[in-house]
Structure 1
Amino acid sequence: MEEKEEFENSSEDSTEDSSEDEFSWSETTFGDGWNGEDMAQHPERWIYEITNEDSNDIENCINGIRESKTNFDQLEIHRIARCDITLGKFGEKLIEMRNDIRRGIGFRLIRGIQIEKYSRFEICVAYWCIGLYLGEAISQNGMGHLLGHIYDLGADHTKPETRIYRTKYKQRFHTDGGDMVGLLCLMQSKSGGESKLCSTITIYREMMKRRPDLVEELKKPLFYDRKGEVPVGKDPFFQRAVFSNQNGVFMARIAPTFIEAAPKRFPDRIPPLSAKLVEAIAMFEALAMEFCLDMDFLPGDIQLVNNHTLTHARGTYEDYDEPKRKRHLLRLWINESFDNPSKGILTAKTRLCVPLYPE
């Protein structure tokens, strides 16, 4: 059965603009590619352990908002702005991490947020504030969720409109919306659900060595299905290349099942995938598996991933029977640059919000 990974518009308009800028590929700047096996041997490169001082900064931030806002428990979290908060020295560390995620290896794992001492509302406030130091949160679905819940709601994964984060099934390698995706672990699964990350720079270079002809297939604009979440005045699909150079900098965005679904759902408007394109996507996925880093989340972990230079996947998982013990992650889609015009997925019915629980 076909699984569907998460991928949405990183911009309502820019996703449909598959043209490259005036830079040629010979002038393209690449960041740091890496091998998952090497990364696994050097966790100090990507794991940051929360200190007591960091924990105090987080608690002081929550208390500062409580003292400055009336009716704290009824506060609309997405109304909290960067100018309303401070995270002290921890905030400075977050800015350093953001810069490294942008220009370096492309990801970090922050370990040890003390979520057990806070209410659900306080956790969401703290996570939102951490996100404000990284950039601007954008809408993740047609409902306008600025903070998403990765939780098995029992949705039918065989339906084309189903978003896989509402199920327990695996996700193929893909990229999310926004410049960066953040995942805060509230609860682990009973088993499975491991996270896989791979450098798309490494994938690109390996494809160039082995099959440069297939690289050319992924530089062409491809059709993507919008999963029924269609902005006003837009088609139910858009075009984008997998490999591109934006302002002279390498970027890769992919969602295989969204690419595969587009010609099936709109055969009168979109041609079928060529055999060579199918081969190119298969090679991309095979290389991602070959060079990926596996990691498991602990409660209180935050994974931050650059969507332009990394692709990620998730294994199928088994949950506990009790709803409160089921695997639960909080997700942020973040535009790291505030001059990015994207606001994420916006339809005629979208109302921006920060839900405290899965829905």
Structure 2
Amino acid sequence: MAATTTSAPGRIDYYAQSLYSNTTTSDTITKVTGETLPGFPSQYDGERVWTGSKWLDPSLQETYIVRISKDDLLEIESALRHFQGLGLPPGSLGRDTFPLSQDLSDRLRQVSQDCYNGRGFAIVRGISPGRFTDEENVLIFGGISSYIAPTRGFQDVHRELVTCHVLSEDMRPGSKEQNLRPAFTNGRLAFHTDVGDILALHALGVSDTGGETMIASACQIYNEMTASRPDLVQELAQNWAFFHSQDYYTDGTPLLTNAPGDKLVFQFSRLPITGFRSQGANPTLPPPTAKRLEAMAKVEELAWKHTFPLPREPGDMAYINNLCLMHARSAFDVDKQGNPLPSKRHLVKLMLQDPELAWELPQHLGWYLERVYGPNQEDGGRVEKWQLSVKDNSLPDGRIWAGSGALSNG
């Protein structure tokens, strides 16, 4: 198979609908048909293969939404008060310290099964965020999540924080100096994956317009690309150097991996290659070839083609398999010119793992397991830091900068 060595000139726009504009086959872009990636199936099947139109059927909502009843909510509030009465730090949240009934526990455990072994996503609905303080909502999120996937991943470059508040800082004074990432603006997010097994999002507030979390099946994208552009699939399976955050990178990691049991793992983001706004791509990265830009553009195109916008209500807790589903976001609360408006959208993010159901990952992804879920203490222990609220009276304006130091790929 002929591979291109042409590098893309100049700056690449994060928001570009297509990173690659040459639509004709040339000496540097060679289409190849009939090839199957070594070590991969020709097509994936099972529940993780779907197109978004399937889930738009309202009758299917009950298959992926776990509804919290009034009695469940009383039980959850009792568990919260029990935990608060223990006087323990948030890192002690678990099934023993946040006790729930067997019935509710079983329903929450099914969410983990759905994420790892089923369709790849689920929503827990019925928490009323207005009933609790912001701090209590985050504790409830952590307590409920401990029944789904009890291991919490680090989300910052210092490997301390297990929480991340996702809200727009676009209108905050000093935002230009903060080099905001796309996730912390009102803008659209391109499809990507973060770093961890299960992405969990708790909606403390929702936007007036837009702001949908979009998900897409990587297996569906792989199947379609394998049938029409196997040369691009081959490119995605090559070693890519990616700066996942501000202080480390993977040197020679394929974006596509077939884990044992024919489980497709797809780790992808355009942000390290395009940069965002005034912050360009890291200059030490090798420039992307035209073939790689074409592959990235095709992934984005197919992800939007097959996307499913998750239904959203205040209090929703969404759980998404970050290994085999990609996610994006529509722009929210902007004026006709696309300028940001004030917004109530506020998500809290956890990156979870269920040791009972976690996939066996190949050795080249060992860095990810160690960095996110490994120990952060010299004695081999783990100490978690939680931000229960964006408020922080020790800071000049009384609150944190959302996403500061985060490992976010979006």
TM-score grouping bracket, smaller chain normalisation: 0.7 to 0.9
Instruction: Tell me the CA shift for residue 353 of structure 1.
Output: 1.4
| Aligned CA distance change for structure 1 residues 99 and 52 (closer, same or farther; 3 Å) | same
Query: Of the candidates 188, 194, 202, which is equivalent to residue 184 of structure 1?
Result: 202
- Of residues 295-304 and 235-244 in structure 1, the stretch that sits farther from structure 2 once superposed is 235-244
Q: Which amino acid aligns with 1:285?
A: E
| Aligned CA distance change for structure 1 residues 200 and 236 (closer, same or farther; 3 Å) | closer
1:49-68 aligned at under 5 Å gives the runs 49-67=67-85
- What is the CA deviation profile of residues 281-325 of structure 1, one whole-angstrom value per residue up to 9, with x for unaligned ones? 1111101011111134211111110011110100111179997x6
Q: Distance in 1 between matches of 2:376 and 2:77?
A: 36
1:166-185 aligned at under 5 Å gives the runs 166-185=184-203
| Aligned CA distance change for structure 1 residues 347 and 24 (closer, same or farther; 3 Å) | same
Instruction: Tell me the CA shift for residue 118 of structure 1.
Output: 1.5
CA contact (8 A) 2:157 2:245 kept: no
- Secondary structure at the aligned position of 1:192 is classed as coil
Query: Of the candidates 146, 153, 176, which is equivalent to residue 138 of structure 1?
Result: 153
Query: Of the candidates 309, 327, 331, which is equivalent to residue 312 of structure 1?
Result: 327
Query: Of the candidates 167, 175, 184, which is equivalent to residue 151 of structure 1?
Result: 167
1:1-359 aligned at under 5 Å gives the runs 2=14, 24-26=39-41, 31-32=46-47, 33-41=49-57, 42-67=60-85, 69-70=86-87, 75-88=88-101, 89-135=103-149, 136-142=151-157, 144-154=160-170, 162-228=180-246, 230=247, 235-236=248-249, 238-248=251-261, 249-261=263-275, 265-267=281-283, 269-318=284-333, 326-337=344-355, 341-343=370-372, 352-358=384-390, 359=400
CA contact (8 A) 2:207 2:345 kept: yes
CA contact (8 A) 1:3 1:164 kept: no
Name the one with the larger helix percent.
1
| TM superposition score normalised by structure 2 | 0.71
- Secondary structure at the aligned position of 1:201 is classed as helix
- Secondary structure at the aligned position of 2:227 is classed as helix
The answer for unaligned runs of 5 or more in structure 1 is 5-22
Aligned CA-pair RMSD: 3.2
The answer for unaligned runs of 5 or more in structure 2 is 1-12, 17-37, 359-368, 391-399, 401-410
Q: Distance in 2 between matches of 1:240 and 1:159?
A: 32
- Secondary structure at the aligned position of 2:386 is classed as coil
- Secondary structure at the aligned position of 2:372 is classed as coil
| Aligned CA distance change for structure 1 residues 227 and 158 (closer, same or farther; 3 Å) | farther
Find the counterpart in structure 1 of residue 20 from structure 2: none
Q: Distance in 2 between matches of 1:159 and 1:346?
A: 33
Q: Which amino acid aligns with 2:63?
A: R
| TM superposition score normalised by structure 1 | 0.81
Q: Distance in 1 between matches of 2:302 and 2:318?
A: 22
| Aligned CA distance change for structure 1 residues 159 and 121 (closer, same or farther; 3 Å) | closer
Q: Distance in 2 between matches of 1:115 and 1:204?
A: 38
| Aligned CA distance change for structure 1 residues 252 and 103 (closer, same or farther; 3 Å) | same
CA contact (8 A) 1:110 1:303 kept: yes
Q: Distance in 1 between matches of 2:383 and 2:298?
A: 39
Q: Distance in 2 between matches of 1:329 and 1:165?
A: 11
Q: Which has the higher contact order (CA 8 A, sep 6+)?
A: 1
- What is the CA deviation profile of residues 230-276 of structure 1, one whole-angstrom value per residue up to 9, with x for unaligned ones? 2xxxx5554422211123422111111224459x7455x54321211
Q: Which amino acid aligns with 2:389?
A: Y
| Aligned CA distance change for structure 1 residues 27 and 54 (closer, same or farther; 3 Å) | farther
Q: Which amino acid aligns with 2:372?
A: K
Q: Which amino acid aligns with 1:356?
A: L
- Of residues 49-58 and 298-307 in structure 1, the stretch that sits farther from structure 2 once superposed is 49-58
CA contact (8 A) 2:197 2:351 kept: yes
Q: Distance in 1 between matches of 2:301 and 2:180?
A: 25
Q: Which amino acid aligns with 2:245?
A: K
CA contact (8 A) 1:157 1:164 kept: no
Instruction: Tell me the CA shift for residue 139 of structure 1.
Output: 1.4
- Secondary structure at the aligned position of 1:355 is classed as coil
Q: Which amino acid aligns with 1:87?
A: L
Q: Distance in 2 between matches of 1:83 and 1:29?
A: 39
Q: Distance in 2 between matches of 1:177 and 1:319?
A: 29
CA contact (8 A) 1:200 1:311 kept: yes
Instruction: Tell me the CA shift for residue 342 of structure 1.
Output: 4.3
Q: Distance in 2 between matches of 1:283 and 1:121?
A: 41
Q: Which amino acid aligns with 1:242?
A: L
Asked which structure has the greater CA Rg, the reply is: 2
Q: Distance in 2 between matches of 1:287 and 1:153?
A: 30
Instruction: Tell me the CA shift for residue 160 of structure 1.
Output: 9.8
